[in-house]
């Protein structure tokens, strides 16, 4: 599918203003360009395009890439990608259609557009899109599993559509090895209630760069959950537009970074309609030398969104020395007519009072630490809404915690 690119390029100083051509009184030209360069100030003003050729090569100095190990995945941001269909595993389910569709499918491109080169490279490269279409008012749950993507650079595109008044839980389960750049579009119709869970349990060498774009209709609800446990570099960036009056979204994230892992999430919530509501809650734990997590949360309350109710938070628990957690919440408000808006971020070690309380009741230090971490992360697991998956993830957290023994 070809689509026209949309540009929101930064403006420069008026042509009538003379720009210095040399260093003057200690003033030097900025590395981003001339003195008159004005950087993009709002998330909504970022450049967007479906064509990878519209984006310059990634250097790592860009705002969207500056916290990522870009040298480790240049093949995904600028190389040739295999965009062919791949094997999936799913169980047939009434009122859920899973099929491959052409790039010309009318739904493709309606939920959002790439803001960075890896997403545009994937968009320019895929041959067919995996379409998951949900209908029917009865609640249902389906799991789509990918496990054989291989080690060659690959592109993928997925469209998830919840038709008006439908209800479903869609679980995207990722295992095995991969070098993958992908886009996922989520379209939530009027009064639909959709939960999308993306579960990253890749092999230790896997690299995944994923962008999720969602648009939510009138009185509709989207719960989006990101669980990142495996992989070498995993970057899952959800972007949600509350497009219809009364639309609602809850975005949850759980991640556990071990030694050498880079787990990243850049979240964007755009309140574009009146009386919309959003809640963002991401929690992560880090252990081992070189464990790295990045969370950036952007919330925009537009001037077309009176009655907005919004809150975002990120919490990180550091378990060992040698880790790093970056946590950056951002909030933009363009109207004074809101119910509430706020953000919070915290990164720290164990609460000594909690550990003392547990130890004073006969629980050993190691088990006490495991109980604290389990309770910290379980809050996110309990929001998923799929009991079998919640139980399995509690076991996966236990497996991760066994790695803390002896540290």
Cα–Cα distances in angstroms (integers) from residue 164 to residues 99, 133, 190, 194, 220, in the given order: 20, 11, 5, 10, 8
Segments of 113-166 assigned E as strands: 128-134, 141-146, 153-162
**Exposed / middle / buried, residue 335 (Cβ in 10 Å: 0-12, 13-18, 19+):** middle
Residues contacting residue 6 through CB under 8 Å, at least 6 positions apart: 47, 48, 49, 113
Strand partners, 171: 143, 197
d(CA 138, CA 166): 7
DSSP 101: E
Burial of 304: CB neighbours in 10 Å, binned 0-12, 13-18, 19+ = exposed
pLDDT at 18: 42
Residue 29 pLDDT: 52
DSSP 30: -
Partners of 133 in the beta sheet? 97, 161
pLDDT of residue 37: 53
Query: In which element (H, E) is residue 392 found?
Result: helix 387-402
- According to DSSP, the residues that pair with 129 across neighbouring strands are 101
* Longest distance between any two alpha carbons in the chain, whole Å: 76
Of 275, 220, 283, 208, nearest in space to 251 by CA:
283
Nearest partner of 45 among 11, 87, 79, judged by Cα: 11
Phi-psi region of 124 (alpha: psi -120 to 50; beta: other; left: phi over 0): alpha
| DSSP 8-state symbol, 399 | H
pLDDT, residue 17, reads: 40
d(CA 202, CA 172): 12
**CA distances to 151, 300, 371 from 255, in Å:** 23, 24, 17
**Which neighbouring-strand residues pair with 236?**
210
Q: CA of 242: how far to CAs of 132, 145, 300, in Å?
A: 21, 28, 10
Going by C-alpha positions, the residue among 67, 122, 402 that lies closest to residue 265 is 67
Q: Give the pLDDT confidence score for residue 11 in this predicted structure.
A: 38
Complete DSSP assignment for 330-377: EEEE--S-EEEEEEEEEEE---HHHHHHHHTTT--HHHHHHHHHHHHH
Cα–Cα distance measured from residue 400 to residue 389, given in angstroms and rounded to the nearest whole number: 16
154 secondary structure, DSSP code: E
| Predicted confidence pLDDT, tens digits, the chain (407 residues) | 444 444 433 333 333 344 444 454 554 555 554 445 556 667 888 899 999 999 999 999 999 999 999 999 999 999 999 999 999 999 999 999 999 999 999 999 999 999 999 999 999 999 999 999 999 999 999 999 999 899 999 999 999 999 999 999 999 999 999 999 999 999 999 999 999 999 999 999 999 999 999 999 999 999 999 999 999 999 999 999 999 999 999 999 999 999 999 999 999 999 999 999 999 999 999 999 999 999 999 999 999 999 999 999 999 999 889 999 999 999 999 998 999 999 999 998 876 676 666 667 777 667 777 777 888 899 999 999 899 999 999 888 888 887 655 44
Q: Residue 201 belongs to what H/E stretch?
A: strand 193-202
Q: Which long-range contacts (CB under 8 A, 24 or more apart) does 340-344 make?
A: 340/309, 340/310, 340/311, 341/299, 341/301, 341/308, 341/309, 341/310, 341/311, 342/310, 342/311, 342/312, 343/297, 343/299, 343/311, 343/312, 343/313, 344/312, 344/313, 344/314
State the pLDDT at residue 403: 61
CA of residue 320 relative to chain centroid, distance:
25
Confirm if 193 and 216 have CB atoms less than 8 A apart: no
Backbone φ and ψ of 11, nearest 5°: -90, 160
């Amino acid at each position: 599918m070809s689509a026209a690119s949309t540009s929101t390029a930064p403006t420069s100083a008026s042509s009538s203003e003379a720009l210095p051509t040399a260093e003057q009184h200690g003033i030097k030209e900025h590395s981003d360009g001339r003195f008159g360069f004005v950087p993009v100030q709002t998330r909504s003003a970022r450049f967007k395009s479906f064509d990878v050729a519209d984006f310059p090569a990634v250097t790592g100095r860009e705002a969207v890439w500056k916290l990522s190990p870009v040298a480790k995945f240049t093949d995904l941001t600028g190389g040739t990608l295999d965009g062919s269909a791949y094997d999936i595993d799913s169980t047939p389910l009434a009122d859920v259609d899973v099929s491959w569709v052409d790039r010309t499918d009318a739904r493709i491109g309606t939920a959002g557009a790439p803001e960075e080169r890896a997403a545009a490279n994937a968009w320019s490269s895929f041959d067919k899109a995996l379409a998951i279409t949900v209908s029917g008012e009865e609640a249902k749950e389906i799991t789509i599993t990918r496990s054989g993507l291989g080690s060659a650079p690959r592109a993928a595109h997925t469209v998830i559509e919840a038709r008006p008044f439908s209800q479903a839980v869609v679980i995207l389960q990722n295992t095995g090895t991969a070098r993958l750049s992908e886009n996922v579009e989520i379209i939530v119709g009027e009064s639909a209630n959709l939960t999308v869970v993306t579960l990253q349990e890749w092999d230790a060498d896997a690299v995944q760069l994923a962008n999720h774009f969602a648009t939510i209709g009138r009185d509709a609800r989207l719960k989006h959950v990101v669980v990142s446990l495996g992989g070498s570099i995993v970057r899952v960036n959800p972007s949600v537009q509350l497009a219809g009056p009364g639309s609602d979204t809850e975005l949850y994230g759980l991640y556990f970074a071990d030694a050498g892992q880079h787990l990243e999430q850049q979240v964007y919530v755009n309140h574009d309609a009146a009386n919309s509501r959003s809640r963002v809650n991401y929690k992560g734990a880090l252990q081992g030398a070189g464990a790295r997590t990045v969370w950036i949360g952007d919330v925009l309350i537009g001037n077309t969104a009176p009655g907005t109710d919004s809150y975002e938070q990120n919490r990180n628990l550091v378990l060992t020395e040698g880790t790093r957690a970056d946590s950056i919440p951002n909030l933009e408000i363009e109207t004074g007519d809101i119910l509430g808006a706020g953000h919070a971020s915290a990164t720290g070690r164990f609460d000594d009072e909690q550990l003392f309380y547990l130890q004073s009741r006969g629980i050993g230090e190691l088990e006490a630490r495991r109980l604290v971490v389990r309770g910290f992360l379980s809050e996110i697991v309990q929001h998923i809404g799929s009991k079998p998956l919640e139980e399995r993830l509690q076991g996966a957290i236990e497996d991760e915690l066994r790695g803390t023994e002896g540290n």
